[in-house]
Structure 1
């Protein structure tokens, strides 16, 4: 198990509890009372830490190396029915963007998301979840296919941003993302978007326009990462914690501003502590959302989506 810096008090208590249990097993000394005290203290410490995390700590949690990534969600949500589809029919297949057909609770969905990779080799293959223009064009191709066959779309967002390389810009990175936003706004099939990790900038927005948009409890969604914001404003990454607070990027902030529809709860300690429960909770949100949207006519569906995004950012000083 890997621990983040603010989780070290938990690690210390867990180590003490392990030693206590071993001592009881290897000697005739009764340490049950001590072990019970440590268990209670450990549980309380977990509650105190995880229920009072700062914005920066939530950013750290969203990047936890043990956190489940898109393909792990897809595998568990579809129960082995996922059929991956490849290529944008224009340039090549982008490994940072995955997508295909799968059944969740008996209903077929077009599932699309960014995949980061679980080790160094896979992260390089997946470009750390940073999609090129062909990735967004692949996503759009699959969404248009879903529209043609009246299949709902689920997008799983987890990216530090679209790939910022020169070659990506030469192939039209900005245009590809803008085209996706435009087309998703008027797509004639339900769209359910879920931020499962990092939701950074246009890289997230490129597959993030949905009838229902959810964030898992320990994720973030913002136009810029705290580190990049800090480097622009203070010319140093040292102020990333201040930047995270100022950006209002946590799920609670996003819901307060009416930019998302709801927050999906995670097990105590994060999604990686109990993946099975996390997958089940996400599945419930997808199914519930689809049941709310499936009976709407195409005209009503698109009109509601348009109105939802048109109302964002409106304020009154009355």
Structure 2
């Protein structure tokens, strides 16, 4: 059984700019992996993230280092030690899952003994802008079940109030992307309680979140940039109530499943997130999302054109890809 791995970079234009506290994105740059056996192709995708010191060229170089081993039959379990956690390993790991499912004629969820993936609500993101522009964006979303508000330090209260005024019914996640201080969390907590905010995501910089150990939150706080792999959970449990699992951080579905189990054992809830990506990144994340308290997988909905057969978002509800797209 001859294996062959191919990795390449691809770029997908966004329909509109996506703004967070760290900058603006207009193109989703991804690494796509295909692993072929006897004409059967397994596919995976990773999104190298500069915040974690990653780049497209770096990810392709990491994959090139293990290409011979992958072609020779390296397993998913062996991949965990052959590559570091990150976007490059994610692309390879998910391609191996897809290949396994297609060769077996079974879905990934069937292999794992999990229910078939169905439609689910996803957060619809209001990206960072002026309060007036954010209010307009929230109004355009209509009556969706979950909204995520990107904020910074400029005037987060005005940003949150503007969105909430136009979206009074949905559950809401507020995401400062590491831009706040502990003093700002304390000051803004009562306002967020009054506005029925459901989750505060990574308000403090990763590595500077020890202040949360002695802090009593009025709403749950999720670890995103602070949470990567299962080994992080013991330290996170004293600071956070929720873990945001992204396959580009864990280095694939295999490690993401382990992280989800570790979070559950520590009494933490799970959020499933993603980078701005195509549906090839989202399809494996849906396996984790099935059992998550919060789902934030609207990345492909920002694209001008997604991959054919990918997820479909309708009024904040995400329908899985068509059969055969990934993992089935």
User: Greater CA radius of gyration, 1 or 2?
Assistant: 1
TM-score by length of 1: 0.37
TM-score by length of 2: 0.37
Hey, which of these two has a bigger chunk of helix by percent? Answer: 1
Hey, which of these two has a bigger chunk of strand by percent? Answer: 2
